[in-house]
Amino acid sequence: MDVIAIARELGKAIQQDDRYIAYMLAKQANDEDTKLQGLINGFDRLRVELQMEVGKPDRDNDKIAELNEAIKSTYKRIMSDPKMLVYEAAKTGYDQLMSQVNTVISMSGNGVDPDEIDLESTACSGSCAGCSGCG
């Protein structure tokens, strides 16, 4: 049994999964939306401007507060965009899929029978405290 060949088959299966397809379509829709990309680029510029202002020895606290507000406002606009909402939901689904795949692989590598891995009880919370899943 060639493990790499099986991994390639797994990669193909992932690319055929509805969660992957939904994520890629949502990502493409966001990438092609010039208004949304303009907001994202503006957000990035504001962050750079804020970092530069904070790094100055004679920084202007009023300008920092103004930039912080502009960043928050722009972020809200980005995250409330309908395409971004679809993207975030699709990304969450895809991330869950990849987490489950990684759990099976990791736990199998640690000697657990792959057929006995309960993905509901081993769902990754993001915190490694008290978890032996990734080993």
| Angle subtended by helix axes 61-79 and 82-109, to nearest 10 | 80
What is the C-alpha separation between 20 and 87, in angstroms, rounded?
A: 11
Domains of the chain plus CATH, in order, are: 3-103 (1.20.1500.10)
Which H helix or E strand runs over 134?
none
- pLDDT tens-place values along the chain, 135 residues long: 799 999 999 999 999 999 999 999 999 999 999 999 999 999 999 999 999 999 999 999 999 999 999 999 999 999 999 999 999 999 999 999 999 999 999 999 999 999 999 988 755 555 565 555 554
pLDDT for 135 equals 46
Q: Where are the alpha helices (DSSP H) in 56-134?
A: 61-79, 82-109
CA–CA separation, 91 vs 14, rounded Å? 14
Read off the pTM.
0.79
Q: What is the end-to-end Cα distance of the chain in Å, rounded?
A: 24
